[in-house]
């Protein structure tokens, strides 16, 4: 029962994100989702077998999180509502309308992390959750859809997660290969330098011997 990931975006532009663990690869999944989430004000929950993706869109800004399937929808939307409050009550409320990709990471990623942890461990009996549960009209207004309907280009959630893991594995393998090649070429360069130095010394020695013989003859 945990909030695993959260982000804020304007259309397809990801402004800030935070992941509770490096094991969960949600960034590419959410980038795919953002292309198809309606820009009009709304509350939704996209579901899959493994995760839930609660979403609130307000004033053209998308607030999204990923949770375990057993996590309370009320708590997840309470979390998103708190994030909206923190954004709109600060100078970031204006910046989100024109900020560039990942521009708010430095200013707000830590806030996402703190609130994710807070709401993940919040008890259902807390006053903020109780108040939210009493707002029946809001809960009824949340549209629930399967996540596969909102992913771009017909992608599947499992495929995107696997692609991300494969890309990371390939990147790590490439780095290791690059290091080995780099070490190999460094040794070859040293070896070539030693050989060239030896050749130069031999040539100089031969020239010296020849010159000395010429001098003796004279």
Give the pLDDT confidence of 167-209 residue by residue, as tens digits: 555 666 667 766 776 777 777 788 888 888 888 888 888 887 7
Say how far apart CA 188 and CA 186 lie, in whole Å.
Answer: 5
Q: pTM score, two decimals?
A: 0.64
Give the pLDDT confidence of 21-70 residue by residue, as tens digits: 776 678 888 888 888 888 888 888 888 778 899 999 999 999 999 999 99
Beta bridge partners of 54: 45
CA 83, 128, 29: angle at the middle one, nearest 5?
40
Say how far apart CA 167 and CA 124 lie, in whole Å.
Answer: 39
Question: CA quadruple 174, 152, 65, 7: dihedral positive or negative?
Answer: positive
CATH 3.40.50.10090, domain 3-155, yes or no = no
Domain ranges of the chain: 3-155
Question: CA quadruple 132, 136, 137, 143: dihedral positive or negative?
Answer: positive
CA 34, 2, 123: angle at the middle one, nearest 5?
125
Give the pLDDT confidence of 91-137 residue by residue, as tens digits: 999 999 999 999 999 999 999 999 999 999 887 655 455 555 545 44
Could you tell me the end-to-end alpha-carbon distance of the chain, in angstroms, rounded to an integer? 99
Query: Does residue 215 or residue 51 have the better pLDDT?
Result: 51
């Amino acid at each position: 029962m945990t909030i695993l990931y959260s982000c804020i975006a304007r259309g397809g532009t990801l402004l800030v994100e935070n992941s509770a663990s490096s094991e969960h690869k949600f960034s590419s999944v959410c980038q795919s989702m953002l292309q198809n989430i309606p820009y009009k004000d709304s509350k939704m929950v996209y579901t899959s077998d493994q995760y839930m993706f609660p979403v609130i869109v307000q004033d053209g800004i998308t607030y999204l999180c990923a949770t375990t399937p057993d996590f309370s929808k009320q708590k997840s939307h309470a979390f998103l509502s708190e994030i909206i409050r923190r954004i709109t009550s600060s100078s970031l409320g204006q910046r989100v309308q024109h900020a560039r990709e990942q521009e708010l990471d430095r200013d707000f990623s830590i806030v996402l992390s703190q609130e994710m942890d807070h709401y993940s461990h919040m008890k259902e009996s807390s006053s903020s959750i109780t108040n939210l549960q009493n707002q029946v009209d809001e809960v009824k207004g949340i549209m629930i859809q399967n996540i596969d309907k909102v992913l771009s280009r017909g992608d599947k959630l499992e495929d995107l997660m696997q692609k991300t893991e494969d890309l990371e594995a390939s990147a790590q393998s490439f780095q290791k290969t690059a290091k080995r090649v780099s070490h190999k070429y460094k040794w070859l360069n040293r070896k070539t330098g030693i050989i060239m130095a030896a050749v130069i010394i031999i040539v100089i020695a031969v020239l010296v011997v020849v010159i000395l013989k010429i001098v003796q003859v004279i």
